[in-house]
Each structure stands twice: as structure tokens, then as C-alpha cells.
Amino acid sequence: GAGVSQSPSNKVTEKGKDVELRCDPISGHTALYWYRQSLGQGLEFLIYFQGNSAPDKSGLPSDRFSAERTGGSVSTLTIQRTQQEDSAVYLCASSFAPSGANVLTFGAGSRLTVL
């Protein structure tokens, strides 16, 4: 596609439920990133994919968070047993940077509200 697409744009869920957030990166972009942005805060790195593998999962806050990427394209971020502190905007970005500068193209984000 022309840009990075994320769905859903908004998700309201009850505490304890599982949620899945989807990211469709720019075609041909090999790298994919998930960040989290809480209200009025900066971006918190969650996980990075190069192709289908995740060399850096260091930002995942707990084992309730997992992510996968299939076919070197679409990625899904899953949050199990959601908690109120998981409420945030989840941003996905992709890039094509085999070498040199890594410039990210972001999606519009998925706003998650846990009641």
C-alpha cells in the first residue's frame, strides 16, 4: 500500500480481555517496529522485526505482550489479559534500510482503552 495501515484505529475493551492490533507496512519495507505512546508521553519502543524475525524484543513490557510477523509483511501485536495501564496509542512503523540511515514511516496508530 501507499502508507502504513493500522487496525483497528480505536479499540475499547474490558480489563482481562485479549486484544489484537494489526499493522500492514509499506510494500517492500523489510523492517517493522511497534512503539507505544501513553498520553502526553514520548514513544516507548516495544519490538522490532527484520523480515519475519524479531532481533530485538527488549521493549515488550511483560509476557502478556507478543508479536508476530508473517510473510515479511503484516504484523500482529497481541496483548493478553489486558490491564488498565495498557491503555495507550500503539504505533507501527516500517522502513527500508539495508544500510545507512533508518527513516521510519508511521501508521496513524491504534488507540487502546482498557476499562
104 near another protein, rule: CB under 8 A: yes
Question: Considering only 13-21, 65-73, 78-86, 107-115, which stretch makes contact with another protein by CB under 8 A?
Answer: 107-115
Q: What's the closest the beta carbon of residue 103 comes to another protein, in angstroms?
A: 5
- In this structure, the chain runs to a length of 115
Max CA pair span of the chain: 43
42 near another protein, rule: CB under 8 A: yes
Hey, is 1 helix, strand or coil? coil
**How far apart (Å, rounded) are the C-alpha atoms in residues 22 and 41?**
22
Query: Given the complex with another protein, which of 9 and 78 has the nearer CB atom?
Result: 9
Task: Burial-class residue 98 by CB neighbours within 10 Å (0-12, 13-18, 19+).
Answer: exposed
Query: Using CB under 8 A, which of 19, 21, 26, 31 touches another protein?
Result: 31
61 near another protein, rule: CB under 8 A: no
**How far apart (Å, rounded) are the C-alpha atoms in residues 61 and 4?**
24
26 near another protein, rule: CB under 8 A: no
35 near another protein, rule: CB under 8 A: yes
52 near another protein, rule: CB under 8 A: no
Q: Could you tell me which of 32, 44, 24 has the C-alpha nearest to residue 85? A: 44
Residues contributing to the site for another protein (CB under 8 A): 4, 31, 33, 35, 41-43, 45, 48, 50, 55-56, 91, 93, 101-109
